[in-house]
Amino acid sequence: MTEEKKRKKRKSDEEIIFAQEEIAGFKVKPWSFGVLFEISEMLDAIFTKLDHRGVDLKFDFSEGFASDLPKFIRIAAIAAPEVKAIIAITVDATEEEIEELDMKVGIKLLTTIFKQNFEIIKNALGLSLVMEKEKTEEKEGASDQKTISP
């Protein structure tokens, strides 16, 4: 086998680092910085809705996504407009195309997008939880402050 043939079979560093999957003809790849800016308000809206509903956002991937499937479906139900828009933007489709998908394909797209972008989502969630905790602590701290008089 020639050196040229060996190189053609190897994946580029970009393909390895920025892996993409194809699902039902849609290319799913990790979000670019530009996409993150485009969807940031939607992510914030999703986190707010889930927080108000008390949805536990801890995931156990040790056995894949199967154990968390009901949670994904609940998230999609609670924040349907945002989830649909994010899926459409991620796979470069229209929202109408996403609405017409078979349930299995839709869930596969959702879980793949989540898996590929988990670190971004986790960091965004962590930041929003820290900000909420700080707000709560500020409110509680204000009422616990004592005035020192001479």
Q: 18-26: which pairs have CB atoms within 8 A and are 24 or more residues apart?
A: 19/116, 21/112, 21/116, 23/105, 23/108, 23/109, 23/112, 24/101, 24/102, 24/105, 24/108, 24/109, 26/91, 26/92, 26/93, 26/109
State the pLDDT at residue 47: 87
Q: Higher-confidence residue: 101 or 62?
A: 101
Residue 101 lies in a domain: yes
0.75 surpassed by pTM: no
pLDDT of residue 41: 93
Of these ranges, 94-98, 111-115, 119-123, 138-142, the one predicted with the greatest mean pLDDT is 94-98
Residue at token pair 């962590």: 126
User: How many domains does the chain divide into?
Assistant: 1
Q: Residue 72: which domain range? A: 15-121
Cα distance between residue 150 and residue 58, in whole Å: 50
* Contact criterion met (CB below 8 Å) for 43 and 85: no
The pLDDT, as a whole number, for residue 144 is 40
What CA–CA distance (Å, rounded) separates 68 from 72?
A: 6
Determine, yes or no, domain membership for 143: no
Q: Is 90 a domain residue?
A: yes
pLDDT digits (tens, 9 = 90+) for 17-51: 557 889 999 999 999 989 989 999 999 999 899 98
